[in-house]
């Protein structure tokens, strides 16, 4: 068991299995099937991300360095939350970009009963340590425990 401390972007607590990407998450490509074609499991559609492509993101602790892609990223995250097709949480090893932060924050403020805690700046050591399927627990203060 290891603990990592990061910065809280969107508050909340959750325990979920880890889903790990060592490359950037193209938000639009990853969530397109869930938002446009009714994929309720939020299967990652980004063919350029071999760590995530074809894997279900719904209910997972999505561990990643950063998001990449177009300016739609924030809206995509907000819509995924509004449609209840979001990861259980998003955990960034690097500082979050402004678009992903905006979408996460708006979802936490505007959507009642929907939670997707987001913590950033967990460090490269976090991303090197966590493996797919490990149990992740996110605390309100930004502590992330990996079992």
Q: Which CATH architecture best describes the domain 2-146? A: 3-Layer(bba) Sandwich (3.50)
Tokens of 42: 């939020």
Strand partners, 143: 5
Q: What is the pLDDT of residue 70?
A: 81
pLDDT on residue 99: 94
pTM as predicted: 0.96
pLDDT in tens, 115-127: 999 999 999 999 9
Domain boundaries, the chain: 2-146
Q: Is the pLDDT of residue 69 over 90?
A: no
47 vs 98: CA distance, rounded Å: 24
What is the C-alpha radius of gyration for the chain, rounded to an integer number of angstroms? 13
pLDDT at 109 over 90: yes
The C-alpha atoms of residue 85 and residue 44 are separated, in whole angstroms, by 11
């Amino acid at each position: 068991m290891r603990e990592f401390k990061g910065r809280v972007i969107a508050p909340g607590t959750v325990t979920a299995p880890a889903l790990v990407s060592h490359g950037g998450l193209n938000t639009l490509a990853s969530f397109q099937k869930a938002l446009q074609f009714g994929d309720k499991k939020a299967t990652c559609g980004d063919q350029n991300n071999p760590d995530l492509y074809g894997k279900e993101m719904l209910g997972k602790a999505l561990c990643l360095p950063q998001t990449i892609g177009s300016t739609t990223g924030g809206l995509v995250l907000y819509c995924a939350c509004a449609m209840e097709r979001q990861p259980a949480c998003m955990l960034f090893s690097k500082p979050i970009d402004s678009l992903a932060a905006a979408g996460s924050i708006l979802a936490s403020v505007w959507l009642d009963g929907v939670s997707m805690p987001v913590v950033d700046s967990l460090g490269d050591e976090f991303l090197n340590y966590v493996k797919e399927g490990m149990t992740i627990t996110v605390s309100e203060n930004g502590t992330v425990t990996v079992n």
